[in-house]
Amino acid sequence: MRSLLLAAALAVSTPAWAQTALPLNIGGRVAPAPEGAYDFGWPGVYFEGRFIGPSIEVVVDTRAEHLAVSVDGVRKAELTKSGETRLKLDRLGPGQHTVRLDKLTESQTGSARFEGFFVGPEGKALPASARARRIEFIGDSHTVGYGVRSASRDCTQAQVHDLTDTSLAFGPILAGRLDADYRIEAFSGRGVVRNYNGVAAGEPLPVLFPRVIPGQAEPRVAAGDPWQPDTVVIGLGTNDFSTPLNPGEAWADLAALHKDYRASYVSFIQGLKASRPGARFFLIAGDTFADDVAEVAQRAGATAVRITNMDGGACHWHPSVADQTMMADKLEAAIRTN
């Protein structure tokens, strides 16, 4: 699986005047940039295009992110070097093809820029093809796929970055099984009202959620966003409760934290429901806050999905590939039966 081109590839390009940009199916939030480009920062953003022809060129400024390029569902390259990249894939065979660029790593600051898929005069651009079903995933590092490629729990921050792969997280796995387009709004270390060890007080996930790029306060998602999910899966709570309260935090004791978590979570879901009419909501319940999630689900009209017994074999005791697959299994069963 990993016998891939693990570097940015430079190719002799067809002159720009002879190229045709492919129409796009975009999964995830993006910010329009000059000359038809898009900036993006949330995990798991992807771009897809369809074409006829023997070759395709992918143009992207990776900045600090790692990205994967696939053709017809087969991963052809991983772009791991920073900076402007022009990757040309040729000898693709006759007929129609689908090209896809996936964001693998997490951007807590900054973003990458997608500049387009291009066919030369020997090819033909086709209309983009979107899927009928849409799922939105909202969460923390478990949803991000934090360090999921690691075979060890002991990781440096550089290793966490390089071994994070959102395409191996439960969201994209589940979306693939259900043939759904998806969006992911997830940020490691954030909770509903409290972040890991009390860091970044006042900026839990619901505060970041309206941003188009998570590390930037502006731009924000416009009212009446046309992208409407059929299903929303939320996994928040681990960071609210995984560390003891520190002196000076906003809650007098753990009981006050649990009360605030429940009330704020219900309010967050109710706000989401108002802008996502008809969507079904599923809430992931972990070991230490399952009762809280059960109450929130009952009050907010959602379904709680209990997920326990993970091996935590990835970086810093995060879900392994096996754990992520198990999470997708349990969510799939819940979605298909509710």
Residue numbers annotated as active site: 141
Assess contact for 194 and 257: CB atoms under 8 A: yes
Report in angstroms the alpha-carbon separations of 14 from 11, 18, 77.
Answer: 9, 7, 20
Q: Which residues sit opposite 186 in a β-bridge?
A: 139
Q: Among candidates 57, 104, 97, 98, which has minimal Cα distance to 78?
A: 104
Report in angstroms the alpha-carbon separations of 161 from 109, 192, 297.
Answer: 12, 24, 33
Q: Residue 44: what residue type?
A: G
Q: Give the torsion sign (CA, 3, 315, 231, 229).
A: negative
Report in angstroms the alpha-carbon separations of 106 from 63, 177, 203, 212.
Answer: 12, 23, 17, 14
Report in angstroms the alpha-carbon separations of 203 from 191, 209, 245.
Answer: 9, 10, 16
**The two structure tokens encoding residue 17:** 């005047």
